[in-house]
Chain A
Amino acid sequence: MSEAINVPRGELRSVSSVGLVNWVRRTFTRRSPSARVIAPSVVCLGASLEVDWWLFCQDGPEVSLITVSLVGMEIARRRISARTGISVVTETRPFFTLEIDRQVPDHGSPVASGQAEAKVPLRSAPSLAGRLNEIAWKVVVQASFGALTVLRQEFPVTVLPVSS
């Protein structure tokens, strides 16, 4: 069976925030929502991933719901040639999504936080990076107000094969 490997918990680095609205907010507003996640950066299939998270939204847009998820996704890149040059199109498809925390923040509170634990599935694909094809695992913090996504930040974690 699997065992936890000895990787210390630390602050994970965010790689992306999706959405033009979000980018504009983050770039041009004085304060914009942002998330922090502390978790092990490496975990084995079948192991538990303990996640501490914070969402800072002081003076930012109102947030009515925060979700934290563990997501495994397939990423495929394709080069497309056109008269204007070669561009790379990236397709992503989640194959595993586990919501590990969901919180309705206190109205007007500048910070929301939580702790959660995710069980990485035992029978799945470990992280894999290739030139064209990739398997990536991420902790995703998403804040929304109604149907509007206010923030989506992704924090990569490396998932290793089952340790023996």
Chain B
Amino acid sequence: MALDLHQGCTAFEPGASVRGVATWSVPVVPSGMELRLIWGTLGPGGRDFTIAETIPLARPLAEERRPFILKLPTAPYSFRGNLISLAWTLELVALPGEEKVRIDLTVAPNREVIDLRSETPPQPPGSPATS
């Protein structure tokens, strides 16, 4: 099983379209194939994740090559913080066994992970930004 994205691009603007090809060759015809677009946060206490979209690939054969196109949501953004980080993943899943391959995606303005680790520089005392 493989997922190939158009021009190998894995970083996208929020709301952009993702084009690619899902390829598989399995010994037994799967009962279903799905593309799952997932985002999750990872922190010291574990992972929260949400399946943003599931795209069923109807009537799969044992060996196939399926082009796909999907539209990304406008949020949340990929970020990396001191405590938690948020990442997007595109999975190709064979049913019913849940065998899968995945690609990590970056979804953020300028197609760059937002870095929250640099705290705002301290302001000099007595000089509020506005008043």
Contacts and interface: CB of A to CB of B under 8 A. Distances in A.
A137 to B, nearest CB: 12
Interface in A56-81: 72, 74-79
B15 to A, nearest CB: 8
A107 interface: no
* Interface residue range, chain A: 35 or more
B74 A132 contact: no
Contacts of B126: 102
A133 B84 contact: yes
A131 B120 CA distance: 27
B52 interface: no
A128 B41 contact: yes
Interface stretch (A14-22, A110-118, A138-146, A148-156): A110-118
Interface in A100-129: 100-102, 114-119, 122-126, 128
A162 interface: yes
A76 B48 CA distance: 11
B131 interface: yes
A100 B130 contact: yes
Given A78-B44, A126-B77, A114 B119 contact: no
Contact of B130 (A77, A117, A131): A117
Contact of B45 (A76, A100, A102, A124): A76
Interface of A: 72, 74-79, 89, 91-102, 114-119, 122-126, 128, 130-133, 135, 160-162, 164
Given A74-B116, A125-B116, 5 more contacts: A76-B44, A78-B43, A91-B44, A123-B109, A128-B86
